[in-house]
């Protein structure tokens, strides 16, 4: 109340001169102080203390960042993200930006590419998590691959089946063959198990071991399983034959002499095989597994999988910014270049791109900063089992401080590291913005 309005020398006081400005600044300053400045300072301080904040540990937390495997992986992944994603987003945005200037359906195209920007990164992550599922019945990406793969390399009729006894040797992947050498007059029971009931052909009937032939080798391919297991290697009542299985007659050196298909009761016969030892086998193509899907969300592909989702989201942003830059390009320069005989390619490389440089740099640097902070999309795309492999600095910070570990000391140290990495980029971006304005 009684504050002097004027200092002794007669000039208005500091308070008086700035009170309007201060009054306007105060709310923002208070909020920034509470929510930004204080937590930032407190985080830096906290990073020098141990997990429950009771003991000063100096730089131990920082040392731990660079000696813990999970955190080193996070830093490495972040480096990969920085090297790959901003450049790709800018390049894709440039291509799209140039494209929408030339194609007819540019509005529809622009809308489609920009659409992902309208949903949150987390939701985009959830979408990609489902699309990237390994099971082709669930994941759209693998469903597409499965359609192609199964057309090129069709699955066998009995994928997943296994031999019921030791009488069959080999593996389903390499084909199963009867272990004993066979001669004319022998019978070869080729029992198989692990066949789901719905994979048995509908025309199958009770299996039957055919009677031996004088001048041939006979046998039966059947589902050697009864509820409870049944007796292995013996055709029992209730066990179905497997019709339509291609059985090969081989000479002792492994060359295929003849192929027959089994009957409805699973029986097959090679007539007139002559003297000498032979082998009977079911080839690997019968057991070929259907395409089982690429493990996009597994440890080795998870980072590329998340990157694709991320680029899908941000390509729209890059396209719009670069498109705006393109629209603002001086047409006369382009026309002049064309008149001087430059090809479209030369115009693009020598005129368009250099003129667009400032815009491209803004997009690139904005993406650099975004990529350094990348967090939620990884959390939503990567299943828990591969989050360690998809880890980045921001995610590592969250998981260390809040994700149950509750090591706020180490978590703060990671946050400070991230902050230090972002500062130069931020400074650069602010400076280049200023120059433009």
Site membership for other proteins, residue 10 (CB under 8 A): no
Among positions 114, 342, 388, 426, the unique one binding other proteins when judged by CB under 8 A: 388
- Of 156 and 323, nearer to other proteins (C-beta) is 156
Among positions 201, 284, 290, 403, the unique one binding other proteins when judged by CB under 8 A: 403
Site membership for other proteins, residue 384 (CB under 8 A): yes
Tell me the window of 22-30, 74-82, 193-201, 343-351 that interacts with other proteins (CB under 8 A): 193-201
Site membership for other proteins, residue 53 (CB under 8 A): yes
Site membership for other proteins, residue 58 (CB under 8 A): no
- Of 164 and 286, nearer to other proteins (C-beta) is 164
Structure tokens that stand for 52 in this block? 């429950």
Tell me the window of 21-29, 158-166, 201-209, 353-361 that interacts with other proteins (CB under 8 A): 158-166
Least distance to other proteins from the beta carbon of 62, Å?
Answer: 18
Closest CA to 276 of 188, 185, 212, 209: 185
- Of 97 and 172, nearer to other proteins (C-beta) is 172
Least distance to other proteins from the beta carbon of 199, Å?
Answer: 7
The pair phi, psi for residue 432, each rounded to 5°, is -70, -30
> Which positions from 290 to 329 touch other proteins by CB under 8 A, shown as an x/- string?
-----x-xx-------------------------------
Among positions 5, 166, 198, 202, the unique one binding other proteins when judged by CB under 8 A: 198
> Which positions from 252 to 291 touch other proteins by CB under 8 A, shown as an x/- string?
----------------------------------------
Give residues 115-154 in contact with other proteins (rule: CB under 8 A).
133-135
Give residues 218-237 in contact with other proteins (rule: CB under 8 A).
225-229
> Which positions from 74 to 93 touch other proteins by CB under 8 A, shown as an x/- string?
--------------------
| Residue 44 CB-density burial (10 A; 0-12 exposed, 13-18 middle, 19+ buried) | middle
Among positions 164, 184, 370, 412, the unique one binding other proteins when judged by CB under 8 A: 164
Structure tokens that stand for 366 in this block? 């904005």
Least distance to other proteins from the beta carbon of 26, Å?
Answer: 23
Among positions 58, 196, 341, 354, the unique one binding other proteins when judged by CB under 8 A: 196
Residues making contact with other proteins (CB under 8 A): 42, 52-54, 70, 133-135, 160, 162, 164, 193-199, 225-229, 295, 297-298, 383-388, 399, 403-407
């Amino acid at each position: 109340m009684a504050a002097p309005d004027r200092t002794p020398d007669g000039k208005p006081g500091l308070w008086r001169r700035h009170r309007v400005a201060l009054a306007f600044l105060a709310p923002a300053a208070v909020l920034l102080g509470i929510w930004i400045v204080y937590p930032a300072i407190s985080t830096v301080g906290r990073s020098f203390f141990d997990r429950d904040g009771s003991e000063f540990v100096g730089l131990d937390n920082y040392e731990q960042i660079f000696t813990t495997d999970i955190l080193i992986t996070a830093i490495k992944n972040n480096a990969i993200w920085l090297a790959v994603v901003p450049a790709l987003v800018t390049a894709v945005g440039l291509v799209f930006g140039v494209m929408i200037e030339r194609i007819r359906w540019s509005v529809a195209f622009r809308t489609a590419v920009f659409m992902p920007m309208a949903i949150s990164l987390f939701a985009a992550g959830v979408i990609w998590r489902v699309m990237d599922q390994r099971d082709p019945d669930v994941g759209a990406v693998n469903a597409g691959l499965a359609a192609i793969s199964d057309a090129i390399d069709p699955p066998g009729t009995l994928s997943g089946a296994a031999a019921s006894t030791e009488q069959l040797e080999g593996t389903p992947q390499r084909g199963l063959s009867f272990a004993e050498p066979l001669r004319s007059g022998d019978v070869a029971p080729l029992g198989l198990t692990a066949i789901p009931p719905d994979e048995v052909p509908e025309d199958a009937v009770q299996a039957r071991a055919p009677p031996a032939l004088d001048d041939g080798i006979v046998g039966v391919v059947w589902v050697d399983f009864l509820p409870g297991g049944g007796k292995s290697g013996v055709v029992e009542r209730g066990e179905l034959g497997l019709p339509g299985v291609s059985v090969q007659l081989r000479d002792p050196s492994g060359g295929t002499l003849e192929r027959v298909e089994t009957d409805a009761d699973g029986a097959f016969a090679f007539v007139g095989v002559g003297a000498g030892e032979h082998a009977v086998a079911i080839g690997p193509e019968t057991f070929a597994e259907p395409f089982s899907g690429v493990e996009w969300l597994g440890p080795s592909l998870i980072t590329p999988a998340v990157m694709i989702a991320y680029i899908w989201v941000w390509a729209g942003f890059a396209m719009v910014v670069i498109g705006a830059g393109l629209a603002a390009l001086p047409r006369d320069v382009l026309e002049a270049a064309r008149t001087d005989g430059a090809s479209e390619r030369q115009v693009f490389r020598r005129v368009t791109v250099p003129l667009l440089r400032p815009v491209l740099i803004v997009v690139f640097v904005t993406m650099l900063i975004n990529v350094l902070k990348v967090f939620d999309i990884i959390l939503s795309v990567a299943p828990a089992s591969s989050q360690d492999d998809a880890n980045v600095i921001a995610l590592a910070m969250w998981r260390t401080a809040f994700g149950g570990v509750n090591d706020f000391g180490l978590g703060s140290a990671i946050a400070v590291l991230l902050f230090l990495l972002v500062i130069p980029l931020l400074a650069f971006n602010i400076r280049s913005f200023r120059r433009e304005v």
